[in-house]
Amino acid sequence: TGLVDADRRNSRGISLGAVPLLPGVKRSNSCKLGTSSRRTGVSKELFMQIGVPAETLAGETRVAATPETVKKLVAAGHRVRVQTGAGLASSVTDAAYQAVGAEMCSAADALGSEMVLKVAAPQPDELKMMQAGSALVGMLNPFDKGGLQQMALAGLSAFALEAAPRTTRAQS
């Protein structure tokens, strides 16, 4: 039918609803839903594997997640995999990521995660390393029709941050 199970619920018991998928794309079932240890005191259950690859676009010095962001994701029960050296151009060391619970990995491992955080849209060689059915979040240039087609053909669910509505409060 092209839909995931409509009865899936998040950690707060809220229905995730039916999510349409691209034709021929299979959803990864490796994401487990569970209860956060922050609220209940029980052991953490892995929610999602999130990858942060190094940016490969010429002149790009930013990294998609800071150690503070990674710390929050890990505390929420996610497994965060950061490509070795991803933060160096932003003066963030691998040790800073490891100190907050990130795993250091290769580009293929970061790009092969269920969710990938990037600053810029992935290059063609990066797209080849990404799994169909995974989510991509970043500044993806939503007006680049060719780039969007490549992401769709790779079977990605892409979320362009520049297309997300922002309030005036978020601007300050």
Q: In this structure, are residues 85 and 55 in contact, taking their beta carbons and an 8 Å threshold? A: no
d(CA 108, CA 28) in angstroms, rounded, equals: 17
Dihedral angle sign, alpha carbons of residues 110, 126, 67, 157: negative
Q: In this structure, are residues 3 and 21 in contact, taking their beta carbons and an 8 Å threshold? A: yes
Q: Which residue has the tokens 């795993």?
A: 103
3-class DSSP assignment, residue 96: helix
Q: What local confidence, expressed as pLDDT, does residue 170 receive?
A: 64
Q: In this structure, are residues 113 and 73 in contact, taking their beta carbons and an 8 Å threshold? A: no
Please, what are the averages of pLDDT over each run of 10 residues along the chain (172 residues)?
41 43 41 38 68 96 97 96 97 98 98 97 96 96 94 96 81 63
Pick the closest to residue 38 from 7, 13, 12, 16 (CA basis). 12
pTM of the entire structure?
A: 0.72
DSSP class per residue in 25-93: PPPP--PPP---HHHH-SPP----EEEEPPP-STT----S--HHHHHHHHHTT-EEEEETTTTGGGT--
